[in-house]
Amino acid sequence: MSHSSTSPPADLTLRQAQQDIDQWIQTIGVRYFDEMTNLAQLVEEVGEVARILSRTCGEQSCKPGETPGDLADELADVLFVTVCLANQSGIDLTDALRRNLDKKTKRDADRHQSNQKLT
């Protein structure tokens, strides 16, 4: 990795995250899982996010002695697997997110402001 694991930079760009995760995969993870395995991993991690939110923000409750889990860690797991899928698919997430935000900005320019349900 390009920075020390004991003192990560204050800001981590998507591009740097893609590079760091690729380096981690190549040195510690041995190789990328195939895309279908990573898809299954992504669904599993999103399920863990859903489980936490359904118990902390939703109407479900934890079983006695159970803790809901660490939302930040589970979201980071979702991001990690998403970055793996992007890396193995040759996708620059920085560029992809910029284009996606552009698309949403044009498409939804006044859609949400005029939605009575949101006021």
How confident is the model over 69-111, as pLDDT tens digits? 999 999 999 999 999 999 999 999 999 999 999 999 999 888 8
Please choose, from the candidates 71, 13, 72, 81, the residue with its C-alpha nearest in 3D space to the C-alpha of residue 43.
81
- Report yes or no: 77 and 45 within 8 Å, Cβ to Cβ: yes
Residue 4 lies in a domain: no
How confident is the model over 3-54, as pLDDT tens digits? 445 565 579 999 999 999 999 999 999 999 999 999 999 999 999 999 999 9
Residue 1 lies in a domain: no
Residue 2 lies in a domain: no
Q: What is the extent of the structural domain holding 96?
A: 14-109
How far is the C-alpha of 43 from the C-alpha of 35, rounded, in Å?
12
Residue 72, domain CATH: 1.10.287.1080
Report yes or no on whether pTM surpasses 0.75.
yes
Number of folded domains that form the chain:
1
Q: Residue range 107-119: average pLDDT?
A: 84
Please choose, from the candidates 104, 95, 103, the residue with its C-alpha nearest in 3D space to the C-alpha of residue 18.
95
Residue 7 lies in a domain: no
- Report yes or no: 93 and 85 within 8 Å, Cβ to Cβ: no
